[in-house]
Amino acid sequence: MESGSYKHLLVEDRGAVRILSVNRPEALNALSGAVIDELIAAVEAIADDAAIRGVVITGAGPKSFVAGADIAAMAPMSPSEAMNFAGRGHALGEMLGALPKPVIAAVNGFALGGGCELALACDFIYAAENARFGQPEVKLGVIPGFGGTQRLLRRVGRAMALELCLRGHMIDAAEALRIGLANRVTPRGEVVDAAVAAAAEIAEMGPLAVAKAKELIHQGADLPLAEANQREIEGFAGLFDSDDQREGMEAFLGKRKAEFKGR
């Protein structure tokens, strides 16, 4: 799918960083099935594009990152339809985690329900001062369905995840930073630029090393320490068979900037 054919996504490239902006202003950028499908297509395109080395996901406009999943579309769903919908949301989250490039959520305004889950599926989160996070699904008689219970648990710990999911209340950017949900808080209007700057900085690093570090951190979170450490040893050693390793160390010793090729 070409970028111009997206109905609900705005796509912008800044150097090696691609910005994906969910664009449904009439619904505060809520996640419909169509939006999820477009995000999946956009991520697939990035995976195949060596020129793109970082991704920023945000919401169009200043009010909302993604206000949640589309409740009007969900209300009449049968259990089988709900399972399919949740499965597509999970598929998107798994693709973002598996993408061998950093994915940063730039949260401007509301990140509720599916929006909070989309941010959680990114590698880390930058939040504008006006950002608001929450998993309010219990107020609708359901639970988070796009990974919220599990990614939130792994991000902020059991007690905080329980409180957020059971009370269904919103927290502000400062509280999100305090509990480890957000990595950084920026002034309003600056969050996308801050996320792009971080992604561009990472894009200057060895892409094979970035991909391997991301892979090991995600995998290791669910493994016993000894097994995770063994995978690190193997990943470290494997990179010594790459042109990037030789270039990076020769550049350091030669006091020049490395020119990585991703091989």
Is 115:96 a contact under the CB 8 Å cutoff?
Answer: no
pLDDT band at 86 (very low <50, low <70, confident <90, very high): very high
The residue from 137, 204, 250, 259 that is catalytic is: 137
Establish whether 234 is a catalytic residue. Answer: no
Q: Do 215 and 85 share a domain, yes or no?
A: no
Do strands 64-66 and 17-22 pair parallel, antiparallel, or not at all (unpaired)? unpaired
Establish whether 26 is a catalytic residue. Answer: no
Q: Do 146 and 239 share a domain, yes or no?
A: no
For residue 260, being part of any structural domain is answered with no
Encode pLDDT of 88-103 as tens digits: 999 999 999 999 999 9
Nearest to 151 by CA among 213, 221, 100, 210: 221
CB-based burial label for 222 (10 Å; 0-12, 13-18, 19+): exposed
Encode pLDDT of 25-73 as tens digits: 888 898 989 999 999 999 999 998 999 999 999 999 888 999 887 888 8
pLDDT band at 4 (very low <50, low <70, confident <90, very high): low
Chain centroid offset of residue 169 CA: 22
Q: Number of structural domains, the chain? A: 2
Buried b (16+ CB within 10 A) or exposed e, 131-167: bbbbbbbeeeeeebbbbbbebbbebbeeebbeebbee
- pTM score of the predicted model: 0.92
Start-to-end CA distance of the chain, whole Å, equals: 27
Residue 238 belongs to domain spanning: 207-253
Q: Do 62 and 115 share a domain, yes or no?
A: yes
Last residue of some domain: 203, 226, 242? 203
Q: Do 17 and 74 share a domain, yes or no?
A: yes
Encode pLDDT of 185-239 as tens digits: 999 999 999 999 999 999 999 999 999 999 999 999 889 999 999 999 999 999 9
Encode pLDDT of 9-29 as tens digits: 999 999 999 999 999 988 889
The residue from 26, 81, 117, 247 that is catalytic is: 117
For residue 119, being part of any structural domain is answered with yes
For residue 259, being part of any structural domain is answered with no
